[in-house]
Structure 1
Amino acid sequence: MSICKWIAAGTLAVVLSSGTALAQGNLDKLSSFQTTGVTEFTYVEQGGAKAEAIRKTLAGINLPDGFSIDLYAIVPDARHMAVGPQGIVTFVGTRKTEVWSVTDRDKDRAADEVKNFAPSLAKAIPNGPCFSKDGFLYIAEQNRVLVFPAAEFFYESPDVAAFNVIPQGELVPPEEESYNHTARVCKLGPDGKLYISLGQPFNVAPAEKLDKYKKWGIGGIIRVNTDGSDREVYTYGVRNSVGHDFDPETGDLWFTDNQVDGMGDDIPPGELNHQTAMGQHFGHPWFGGGDTRTNEYAGEDVPVEVVMPAVATEAHAADLGMHFYTGKMFPAKYKNAIFSAQHGSWNRTDPIGARVMVTFIDAEGNATMEPFADGWIDENGEYLGRPVDVTQLRDGSILVSDDLAGAIYRISYSAQ
């Protein structure tokens, strides 16, 4: 039976199918190209009062000269994004139970349709979508990774071709499943392997967990073949990374990391890290961020060689998604620069973050970060939006997701 509902926080009319239970068992059917019985989608209205309220906020966003920001799509709980190689659809993860497909059918650079993807599959924190160049969509959930071949084709149907890469319960041990720091992200590396971040669930990882976490890559970044085989830990000493990308010139991995809470307003710094070799260690839990030692391990010798961050960011700004810019729309100085999202502080006396940053890397590899788009914190210290991720459309504009406003913004450039 179909029912009508309204998505909270606006007047978004939707239609939700409940014909067949969205059970885990449907994955077996979809992997065998069988129908599940689910026939309808949840659709998100793209106009109305909510859209007008978002546009009012965007009128106050500060950008460099020549840049403009517009509402691209209303997407509830919008987190990390993956633009299809054909440019047909953008998939948007959430920290809840939905992945959204966003389509701009008339190519006016605003979405015509937003609907849930693969509604016959139950999902748990499907935060991290990423694409291979040949059109395979990977989605990293709390404790599994799925692949959807030809997702830009199959997304039009409630039933989609779907297969396990890492089955449920095998991304991390089931007893290590947590409600904290489990928003995974993924990216296909230049070696063709799939890189997946695994945040550790504590503020500071306890000593009794370290050996287990090292083995599994919890508090690090793992990589696997695209069929899930040959798992190995690529990165160690990470507290909770929710954004990574590869330098298009060198192939090096860069990633953001959220650092320790409870040490005060101004320490420790957040991090943008640059990894040049497999197995490097980035300091957690001995360091809380940058060269600031954690209280829990302050008296101990550091038993590993630590790579310090390429950029130490402002404390508690919460650096999340990031993307190397490879488009042709923006001025030449932005070529191969990193655009990254700061989600904003949750426990700082004076809020900070809630902005898009840009990082320039010079010929010697030195990185310098500065604000690119801000204004999502008003004069009362109230958040009007909280950016999560940055990605790029084929025309060279960039998209920014916002899980507070439930929206995706498009930033474009014109010399006029």
Structure 2
Amino acid sequence: MKKQFSSSWWYIPVVTAFTLGTLSCSDKEDKKNDNGDIIPDKNNAALTLPEGFGALIVADSVGEARHLAVNKNGDVLVKLNKPKDGKGILILSDKDGDGKAESKTGFGNYGGTGITLKGNYLYASSNTSVFRYALDENELPENTNTPDTIVHGLIDRRQHNSKSITLDDNNNLYVNIGAYSNACQERDRTKDSPGMYPCTILDSAGGIWKFRANAMKQSYGEGARYATGLRNVVGLDWNKEDNTLYVMQHGRDNLHDLFPDLYDAQASADLPAETLYKIEEGDDAGWPYIYYDQNQGKKILSPEYGGDGQKEPEEGKGKNAIDPLVAFPAHMAPNGLLFYTGSMFPEKYKNGAFVAFHGSWNRAPEEQEGFMVAFVPFKGGKPAGEWEVFAKGFAGVDPVLSPGDAKHRPCGLAQGPDGSLYVSDDAGGTIYRIVYNGK
């Protein structure tokens, strides 16, 4: 289904690249061991990891670091949520090979979340557009002041407005357009306000849109709605093993606040699940008509549409919605998804999915949860075991009673050319690198 969306506004950002100076990182005396392996920080960057793994801080205080990418030379390209010193994209370079970035260059005068390397290009998104930069022989962007505008005019209503992106191997670009609503009520997040039926938000948001990666100045009219019924997807990745799109959805909020007769505070803190979906073209994940209850193990009709916490979806209201592959606890905010294809980590991690959980804000009076990186083993394009916590300790405090207490909040994931795992943090502006030196 294509939605014609009238928008005459678009822009090419005026950008420059310049050196910002040397970064201050801890443990600069550490470099590599006798085997040429990067030596982790002495305290593993304050993270708790499985045996044999270590972590180091590549850079800190870089800004609100959202998604990131790593090129063949190990340069880390970071998309900032808001420009810092007028620069929305950073390039962190490790000149002496010790794993720490000594220099930082920047360009792009727009904020946003999405960034990825594909072929001979760097793709990066604002909250309304996707831009493309040609790469030089070192996989660094050229002509940073004149990028191609691939997509423009996407809706930005402030809520769930980040445009996460990924590409397949056939010149297709996939863009999340989050729903500017919690549950498509007539009055958003308002007690006793009914859900709109049909939900008109789904015409231009609440799903994944597909565009051509090599066409210019596309908008809704040139794109296709690839999948619908997805409230907000910040983490998404193209799985090369089965050549399919996978996404992590943020579940809805406010069940107790909006429907206190149906949900107590405990239920509202525990529901609904954050969900991992395998997405085929034309799929409908059911938002806003349904949510997934991980305790009952089934889809539940949303209370805005007549549900009571037990009723199952109805015809025209999520009955044919797809099921998630994995249901995680509620409100942990999955912001990064990466299928691991490297050879550094042990075999169990090959082709499995890492998920960066940004951390919750609305589990009170319970403790806030998330602030970690999880791992889901995969085999043949399907989960092959229970999910597990892979890296924790980012928050720096325990328990976390308010999200503002967390010193670091994981957001983006990227794989380095050597197979190490990079994690961004948009609270403290830290870039982490996780390595495996076990035998």
TM-score over 0.5 (shorter chain): yes
* 2-structure distance, mates of 1:412, 1:346: 30
Match of 2:188 in 1: none
Can you list the C-alpha shifts for 1:193-214, whole angstroms capped at 9, x where unaligned? 0111111111112355856443
Q: Which of the residues 264, 268, 271 maps onto 1:267?
A: 271
The AA in structure 1 aligned to 2:376 is T
Tell me whether 1:282 sits opposite 2:285 in the alignment. Answer: yes
Which of 173, 192, 208 aligns to 1:194? It is 173
Secondary structure of the 1:352 match is coil
Amino acid at match of 2:171: G
How many residues matched? 371
- Say yes or no: does 1:215 pair with 2:228: no
Tell which deviates more after alignment, 358-367 or 227-236. Answer: 358-367
Deviation at 1:412, TM superposition (A): 0.3
Gaps of 5+ in 2: 1-8, 28-40, 186-194, 256-267, 294-298, 308-312
Provide the residue aligned with 1:103 in structure 2. Answer: 93
Shift of residue 59, structure 1, vs aligned partner? 4.8
Q: What's the secondary structure of 1:187's corresponding residue?
A: strand
Distance 2:381 2:133 in 1: 40
Would you say 1:338 and 2:316 are equivalent positions? Answer: no
Greater RCO structure (CA 8 Å; 6+ sep): 2
Kept after mapping to 2: 8 A contact 1:357/1:369: yes
1:206-260 deviation digits (Å, cap 9, x = unpaired): 35585644333x1111111111554111111101100111222111111101011
* Separation (CA, whole Å) in 2 of partners of 1:288 and 1:92: 33
Letter in 1 for 2:160: H
Change (3 A) 1:89 1:61: closer
* Cα distance change, pair 57–182 in 1 and its aligned pair in 2 (3 A): farther
Q: Deviations over 1:7-57 (max 9, x none)?
A: xxxxxxxxxxxxxxxxx99938x7xxxxx8x685545733379xxxxx798
1:162 matched to 2:147: yes
Find the counterpart in structure 2 of residue 183 from structure 1: 162
Contact 1:318 1:342 in 2 (8 A): yes
TM-score (ref. length: structure 1)? 0.81
What is the correspondence of 1:1-400 to structure 2 with a 5 Å cutoff?
27=12, 40=18, 42-43=20-21, 45-47=23-25, 58-74=44-60, 75-84=62-71, 86-97=72-83, 98-118=88-108, 122-123=109-110, 125-132=111-118, 134-150=119-135, 159-167=144-152, 170-172=153-155, 177-206=156-185, 208=196, 212-216=200-204, 218-226=205-213, 227-228=215-216, 230-263=222-255, 264-275=268-279, 277-290=280-293, 291-299=299-307, 301-303=314-316, 304=318, 305-348=320-363, 349-363=366-380, 365-366=382-383, 368-377=386-395, 378-381=397-400, 382-400=405-423
Residues 89 and 152, structure 1, Cα contact 8 Å, conserved in 2: no
Report the Cα offset of residue 181 of structure 1.
0.6
Mark the CA change 1:25 to 1:142 in structure 2 (over 3 Å): closer, same or farther.
closer
Equivalent residue of 2:338, what SS?
strand
Structure 1 residue ranges without an equivalent (≥5): 1-23, 31-35, 50-54
CA shift, 1:384, in A, is: 3.0
Deviation at 1:151, TM superposition (A): 6.5
Could you list the per-position Cα deviations for residues 300-354 of structure 1 after superposition, in whole angstroms to 9, with x for gaps in the alignment?
Answer: 8341410111111011111111111010100111100111101111121211100
- Residue 363 of structure 1 and its aligned partner are, at CA, apart by 4.5
- Seen in structure 2, the aligned counterparts of structure 1 residues 151 and 350 have a Cα distance that, compared at 3 Å, is farther
Q: CA RMSD in A?
A: 3.1
Change beyond 3 A, Cα 1:383–1:25: closer
Cα distance change of structure 1 residues 234 and 130 upon mapping to structure 2, 3 Å threshold: same
The alpha-carbon distance between structure 1 residues 68 and 47, as it changes in their structure 2 partners (threshold 3 A), is closer
SS at match of 1:204: coil
- The Cα of 1:78 is off from its aligned counterpart by 0.9
Residue aligned with 2:12, SS: helix
Instruction: Describe the shift of the 1:77–1:237 C-alpha distance in structure 2 as closer, same or farther (beyond 3 A).
Output: same
CA distance in 2, matches of 1:215, 1:271: 22
Query: Hey, what's the Cα distance between the residues in 1 that align with 2:50 and 2:124?
Result: 34
Aligned-partner residue type, residue 284 of structure 2: H
Q: What CA distance in whole angstroms lies between the structure 2 residues aligned with 1:79 and 1:343?
A: 10
User: What secondary structure, in the 3-state scheme, does the structure 1 residue paired with 2:376 have?
Assistant: strand
In structure 2, what is the Cα distance between the partners aligned to 1:95 and 1:152? 28
Moved more, 229-238 or 203-212: 203-212
Shift of 1:165: 0.9
Paired residue type of 1:81 = L
Contact 1:101 1:116 in 2 (8 A): yes
Q: CA deviation at 1:373?
A: 0.7
Q: Which moved more, 1:146-155 or 1:403-412?
A: 146-155
Contact 1:117 1:158 in 2 (8 A): no
Instruction: Say if 2:179 and 2:232, in contact at 8 Å, map to a contact too.
Output: yes
